[in-house]
């Protein structure tokens, strides 16, 4: 699932109007599992100056980077963080870790050959799904459409509940991004 999708869906599922102070921890928790991926891509493009094909076909699968990605995508580590947050009675930290766990649950059925080691450090098992959120060879075209519909629906639902201009503006911008990005994705897929 695309990173902005996690944010919108996690907010729709977890955000409560009576607890607006938990909005930012939910957002940060939805982004943290993918944070290393953005660092990796920045390094690969800006420093190593690798072409996209090499980045995603070779460098992404290097053991060092796979270990880094495993940390952010670890269900046991997020559960441990949630346990500590609950024990210490820190609702913002608990919301962050619940949002991370929700991100993992959303990702688990949607990664094929790029599956994460979600049970690190207890196991190196990768649950390889028959479907992919991006790969047309593994139903990615259909998954992307479902993802877009879910995100746009969640955005409309959130828009009615968010009161700030910034929040509403970001929801509109994200919705427009999805409409444009997926339109280009489908045009590219259908033209091949």
- Residue 4 phi/psi, 5-degree rounding, is -60, -30
| DSSP at 179 | H
pLDDT at 187: 59
Contacts of 75 (CB under 8 A, 6+ apart): 101, 104, 118, 119
pLDDT at 141: 84
Domain that holds residue 47: 3-191
Contacts of 103 (CB under 8 A, 6+ apart): 6, 10, 29, 30, 32, 33, 34
Q: Is the pLDDT of residue 183 over 80?
A: no
Query: How many domains are there within the chain?
Result: 1
pTM for the model stands at 0.90
In contact, 169 and 159? CB cutoff 8 Å: no
pLDDT digit string, tens, across residues 88-147 = 999 999 999 999 999 999 999 999 999 999 999 999 999 999 999 888 899 988 898 899
pLDDT at 163: 84
174 vs 80, residue with greater confidence: 80
Helices (H), 43-139: 52-57, 63-72, 75-87, 91-107
Q: Is the pLDDT of residue 189 over 70?
A: no
- Residue 55 phi/psi, 5-degree rounding, is -60, -50
| DSSP at 109 | G
87 vs 147, residue with greater confidence: 87
């Amino acid at each position: 699932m695309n990173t902005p999708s996690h944010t919108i869906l996690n907010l729709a599922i977890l955000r409560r109007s009576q607890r607006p102070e938990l909005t930012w921890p939910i957002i940060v928790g939805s982004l943290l599992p993918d944070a290393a991926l953005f660092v990796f891509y920045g390094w690969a493009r800006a420093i190593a100056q690798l072409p996209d094909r090499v980045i995603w076909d070779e460098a992404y699968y290097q053991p060092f980077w796979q270990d880094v990605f495993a940390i952010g995508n670890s269900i046991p580590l997020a559960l441990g963080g949630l346990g500590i947050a609950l024990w210490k009675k820190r609702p913002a930290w608990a919301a962050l870790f619940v949002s991370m766990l929700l991100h993992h649950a959303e990702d688990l059925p949607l990664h094929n050959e790029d599956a994460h080691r979600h049970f690190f450090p207890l196991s190196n098992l990768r649950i390889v799904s028959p479907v992919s959120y991006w790969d047309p060879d593994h139903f990615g075209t259909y998954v992307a459409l479902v993802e877009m519909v879910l995100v746009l629906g969640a955005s409309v639902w959130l828009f009615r509940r968010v009161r700030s201009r910034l929040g509403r503006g970001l929801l509109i911008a994200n919705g427009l991004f999805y409409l444009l990005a997926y339109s280009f994705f489908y045009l590219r897929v259908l033209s091949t």
